[in-house]
Chain A
C-alpha cells in the first residue's frame, strides 16, 4: 500500500489538505482534482501524472502514479511536492498519527519514536482533516508515538472528533502513563464521548519486567495508576499484551493480576509480535515461536474469559494455536499490511484466519501449515 507520492510542485505555498475527486461534476470547497487535464471548477489543488505548464491552482505534476488514491480519500500536500494519504475512504483502518514523540521506548516498538517536536504541525494537519472525514466513518484509531504528549492539543483533537464525527468509534492507543496524574484523566472524561476507548499496554504484573520491556522507569506504576484514574471516570479501557520472550514467563500471573486489579477493563487483547521497527534489532531478546507459548496463552485466555472478561487474540495464525483458542482469534491486521504465506493458499481456514503482517512473512512460527477440513493436526 502506498501512502506517499511525490511530484513537482507549483504554487504550493502552504500546507494543503483536501479530498480527492476525479468526477468532473463534483465541485466543492475542499476538493483536489486528480487528472491530466485540469477541470475548471472550485478546486484547491490539482494532481497530475503529466507535466502541467501553468495552472491557476497549486499543482503537483509529474507524479509517477496516482492509482492508489480513491475519490474521497483525504490527502495533504506540502511545499516539497509530497502528497500524503491521511484518510482512506474505502478502508476500515484509518489512523491518526498524533505524534512520533514517545516517553517510552518499547523493545518491540513497531514505529520507533522520533525526538523532534512534530506536534504543532500534526495538530494543524488533523484540525483540517477531521472536518473532511465522512460522517459515516465507523472507526478512527489515534496512535503515535504517545498521543497524550500532545497535552492540551490531545483533548482539543478529541473534542473536534467528538463534534465532527459523533457516530465514529475512537480507539486511542496510549501507554496511559500521563493519566497517573488525575487531572489528565478528569480532563479526558470531560469530553464525554461514549464511543471513545483507550487501548493501554500492560506487559507484566511485576514492574521491573514491564519497565524493562517499555524501557522506562516508573512506567508500570504510572500505567496502573492511570488505568485506575480512567476507570474512576468510567472511561472505556482495553488492555493490550504483546506476546514475546519477555512477557511470556509471567503471562499467567499477568492474567490473574488483570482480573484482580483491573477487572473494569472492557477488553483484553493478546497480540503476536510484529517483525518491524525495533523488533528486528532486539529479536534475540524477543523471539519465541508462538507455537511454544500455546500453553501459557491458553491458560491466560481461558482464565480471563472464564471470569467473564472479553478476550481477543490478535496477529496470530489459527494453525499455530490450539483449536480451543480459535474462537478468540480475530482478523485484526489492517488490510494494507496483511498477508499470507504461499502454503496458506491450500488452507481450508484461510478466510477465517488473520494471517500475518507483511513484515512477519520473513519471521514467523515454524509451525504454520495448511489446515485441512476435518483433519486438525493440533487437536490430538
Chain B
C-alpha cells in the first residue's frame, strides 16, 4: 500500500539515506560451486551467475558481509537476486516472471518429431547399431499407414511450430516415402495453421539433383554427418569403396549450390579415433565453410555400458578433447572469424540469457517426450532417438506405444510417460538438487538407464554429470579469466547471429 507522506523540501540527500534501514539481509535461493583454487560461482534461482572469491558464499550465508566494506559485492548480490533486504523481496514478481520465462519451453510441448523413415543404409558405420544393409523395403521402410498415423499424432501437438525430421538408416534411400510424408503434411498443417520445418538427416552419398530440386522447392533442410578429415571420417563411416568422406564433401558442395549455405548443417560424432585429433577436426569444419561445429561426445550406446571405470576414463578423454578443440575454435575467433561451438553455445545461452533454451539433452523437465518423440520404421513410438537405440539392443524401457494401437493420450500421457515424469526434473534428483549448475543442465533418464541401469541415475559415477559439470565449470572459468573470451561467447549467443 502506498503512503502519502509528502517530503518537506527538495533538499538533496546523500547516498546513505537511500539504503534500506535494515540491520541484516535475507537469503534468496542460490547455489554455489567451487570454480578453481581462487574462485567460486554463485547461481541464483533463475540462472544468473556471479563469480566471487572462494569463501564468499560462506560469508554471505553466515551474515559476515558488511554493507560498507563490501559495498560493490553487496550491491551485486542485491541487484542479482542472491540476497534481499526484505523477507519477500520487492521484486519477487520480476523474479517470478523470469522463472516462468526460463521454463516456457514447456508451453509448446513436443515440437520435434522424428520419423525413422527407413532402417536401410549403404554405410556400415562402426558406432551405429541400428542400420541394416539390405534391399528389403517391406521389412525396413516405414509403412504408409504408419506415416499417416505419425503425421496425425504430430499435428495433435499443442505446438504451433513443428519440426518433422526424417532419419534412417539412410533416409534418402526412402526418398519416395519422404516426399509422400511431406506432401501429406503440407495441406493438413496449413489447415491447422501450424508451421512445419522439414529436415532430412542424410550422409549425402545418394544425393542427386532431383532430390535437391524437391528440397529447394519445399524448403527442406539437410543435416549431414562429417566426422572430420578424410582419414577420420572414412575410418568411422565405413562403406564399400571407403569413400564416404569424398561423397560427403561432394554432397555438401552440391547441396550448397542448390540450397545455399544456411540450409545445410553437419554433425560430428566423436569416436576413439577422433579423440586424438581435436584441431584437425575443427580445421576440417572451418575449411569446408562451416561456421559452427557441434562437438558431440561418443554416445553412451557406444560405451561399454555399465562399466563405470571405463566410462569415466572415456569421458575424461572426451573432456580433454573438447577443451583442446574449443581452444582451437576460440583461436579462430581471436583472429576475427566467426566460428562457434554448438554445445558451448547451448550452455552459454542458459548461463547468459534470460530466455528458454529448449535443447533436448539439457532440459529439466527432460526433453524426451516433452520436446521430442520418435516414430520408428516399424511403427513403435519411443521417447527419443536414444530410446530406440536401446530398443535395438533389446531394451524396450522407453517404448511408449505403437502407431497401430495407441492414441495421442496413451503415448504422451500414458503410464510410461507418467512414470518417467518423476525422474525428468533435476530439481528433485539426488546430487542435482543442490548443484549450482542445475539450471544450466538437465535430466536425462534415458542416459541414466542406459549407462547406470536406473532412470534416477547415480551422479558420482554418471558420465552425463561428469561431462556437464566440468564443461559448465570450464566455460564459466574461461569467461571469468579473459574478457576477450567473454566477448566471443557473448557473440555466440547473440540473437543477431543465427547461423
Contact = CB atoms under 8 A, between A and B. Distances in A.
Are A and B interaction partners?
Answer: yes
B302 interface: no
Contacts of A209: 15, 75
A349 B353 CA distance: 37
A78 interface: no
B223 to A, nearest CB: 26
A168 to B, nearest CB: 31
B91 interface: yes
B10 interface: yes
A228 B93 contact: yes
A205 B491 contact: no
A300 interface: no
B10 A308 contact: no
A250 to B, nearest CB: 7
A307 B48 CA distance: 16
Contacts of A215: 10, 12-13
B12 A217 contact: no
Interface stretch (A10-18, A20-28, A189-197, A258-266): A258-266
A120 interface: no
Contacts of B75: 205-206, 208-209, 250
Interface string A179-213: 00100000000000000000000001111110110
A308 B98 contact: no
Interface residues of A, number: 33
A260 B76 contact: no
Contacts, number: 79
A263 B91 contact: no
Contacts of A250: 75
Given A259-B354, A260-B48, A307-B490, A224 B79 contact: no
Interface string A262-302: 01000000000000000000100000000000000000000
A225 B91 contact: yes
Contacts of B136: none
B496 interface: yes
Contacts of B353: 259-260, 307
Nearest to B19: A208
Interface string B87-100: 00011011001100
A143 interface: no
A58 interface: no
Contacts of B496: 306-308
B106 interface: no
A49 to B, nearest CB: 40
B79 A225 contact: no
B94 A261 contact: yes
Contact of B79 (A212, A218, A257, A259): A257
Interface string A222-233: 001100100000
Interface of A: 105, 107, 112-113, 115, 181, 204-209, 211-212, 215, 217-218, 221, 224-225, 228, 250, 253, 257, 259-261, 263, 282, 303, 306-308
Contacts of A217: 17-18
A151 to B, nearest CB: 13
Contacts of A107: 12
Contact of B10 (A105, A257, A303, A307): A105
Contacts of A105: 10, 12
Contacts of A224: 91, 94
Interface string B39-77: 000000000100000000000000000000000000110
Interface in B84-125: 90-91, 93-94, 97-98
The 10 closest A-B pairs by CB, nearest first: A308-B495, A206-B75, A221-B90, A211-B18, A205-B79, A212-B15, A206-B79, A212-B18, A308-B496, A260-B354
B10 A306 contact: no
B191 to A, nearest CB: 29
B12 A261 contact: no
A168 B495 CA distance: 31
Contacts of A225: 90-91, 93-94
Interface string B441-483: 0000000000000000000000000000000000000000000
B134 interface: no
Contacts of A208: 15, 18-20, 75
12 contacts: A113-B10, A204-B79, A206-B76, A207-B18, A209-B75, A211-B18, A212-B17, A215-B10, A224-B94, A225-B94, A259-B353, A260-B48
A225 B48 CA distance: 19
Nearest to A278: B12
B491 A306 contact: yes
A224 to B, nearest CB: 6
B320 interface: no
Contacts of A260: 48, 98, 353-354
B307 interface: no
A208 B18 CA distance: 5
Given A205-B79, A250-B75, A228 B94 contact: yes
Contacts of B2: 181
